[in-house]
Amino acid sequence: MPVTDTMPTSGKLVAAIGLGVLGWIGSELFRPLMDEDTNFGWFNYVNLALGLVCGWRVTGRRLGLGYATGISAGLTGTAALVFWALFVQSFNEMLGLALDGRITGFMKGLTRMFELAAEYGLVMLDGTLIGALLAGGFLTGAVAEWAERRWA
């Protein structure tokens, strides 16, 4: 990894902010798809933080090579955001079930975590949510590439 990959740049900042906002908006679009009695707690804030990290680490590192690559990086960052959001939220839910005594054993917990991730993934198969994530990833990549070229 070149030394410049760890340096803060305007493109990384814009990508982090863009995917952070996308994480928040995606969370708001996901809420109505779940049961009404679901307690979301820190759901939006966790996804906001994941968006910031994915924007900086995934999208931000791939900027500066052209708009097509920037847009591709934005979509890749969005896919990473969705993956990590599913992982973290299902892990959190599994921990809650384990602390309630409804899961006993490491393998049962791990299996339940992947089942929860699959269930949440199926819930995410909503046209509005998918469209917003794709449009947000596209827009984040394009704007971050512009910022990288403009202020580099």
pLDDT at 1 over 50: no
Q: Residue 6 has which token pair?
A: 């760890």
User: What's the pLDDT at 38?
Assistant: 84
pLDDT tier at 107, thresholds 50, 70, 90: very high
Mean pLDDT on 61-88: 95
**Beta carbons of 10 and 151 less than 8 angstroms apart:** yes
pTM above 0.85, yes or no: yes
Query: Using 50, 70 and 90 to split pLDDT, how confident is the model at 3?
Result: low
> What's the pLDDT at 2?
56
Residues 3 and 107: their CA atoms lie apart, in Å, by 40
Dump pLDDT digits (tens) for 119-132: 999 999 999 999 99
Please, which contacts does 32-39 make with residues 24 or more away whose CB atoms are closer than 8 Å? 33/123, 33/124, 33/126, 33/129, 34/123
pLDDT band at 151 (very low <50, low <70, confident <90, very high): confident
Tell me: pLDDT of 5 over 80: no
